[in-house]
Structure 1
Amino acid sequence: MQIHSLTLDDFSSTDYSLIGIHSPVEDYRLAYLLNLHLQLNLKRSDFDIDVTKDNIDAFFSLYEFTHNATENSWYLISNYHKNKVAGNNLSLFSESQTVTYLLPERKKVDYFLKLEGDFNSMTINKTIESINKIPQIVTSYSIDTNKLKSKESLIF
Structure 2
Amino acid sequence: MQVLTFEMEEDDYSLVGIHSTEEDYRLAFLMNKYLQLKLKRYKDNLDFKNSKAEFPLFEFKDEHNFINYYLINNKHTQFVHNQENAGLFGGNYSTISYLIPEKKKIDFFLKVEGCYRKIFINNLTEKLNTINQIITAYSIETSTLKSKDHLIF
Which whole-Å CA distance do the structure 2 matches of 1:77 and 1:120 have between them?
A: 21
Matched, 1:28 2:25: yes
CA contact under 8 A between 1:18 and 1:113: conserved in structure 2? yes
Deviation per residue, 1:26-62 (Å, 9 max, x gap): 0000000000111000000011110255xx4100000
- Over the aligned positions, Cα root-mean-square deviation in angstroms equals 1.5
Structure 2 unaligned segments of length 5 or more: list them: 1-9
1:70 aligned partner, one-letter code: N
Tell me how far 1:85 sits from its aligned partner. Answer: 1.8
Per-residue CA distance 1:69-92 (angstroms, 9 max, x = gap): 111100000001001122323455
TM-score (norm 1): 0.86
Shift of 1:14: 2.1
Count of residue pairs the alignment pairs up:
142
2:54 corresponds in structure 1 to 59
Letter paired with 1:23:
S
Amino acid at match of 2:85: N
CA distance in 2, matches of 1:84, 1:95: 7
Residue equivalent to 2:35: 38
Structure 2-normalised TM-score?
A: 0.88
Once the two structures are TM-superposed, the CA of residue 145 in structure 1 deviates from its matched residue by 0.3
Q: Is 1:72 paired with 2:85?
A: no
CA distance in 2, matches of 1:110, 1:118: 23
Q: CA deviation at 1:134?
A: 0.6
Which whole-Å CA distance do the structure 1 matches of 2:90 and 2:136 have between them? 34
Given candidates 125, 150, 154, the residue that maps to 2:151 is 154
| Aligned position for 1:9 | none
Identity of aligned residues (%): 47
In structure 1, runs of 5+ residues without a counterpart are: 1-12
Separation in structure 2 between the aligned mates of residue 143 and residue 74 of structure 1, nearest angstrom: 15
Q: Does residue 96 in structure 1 map to residue 93 in structure 2? A: yes
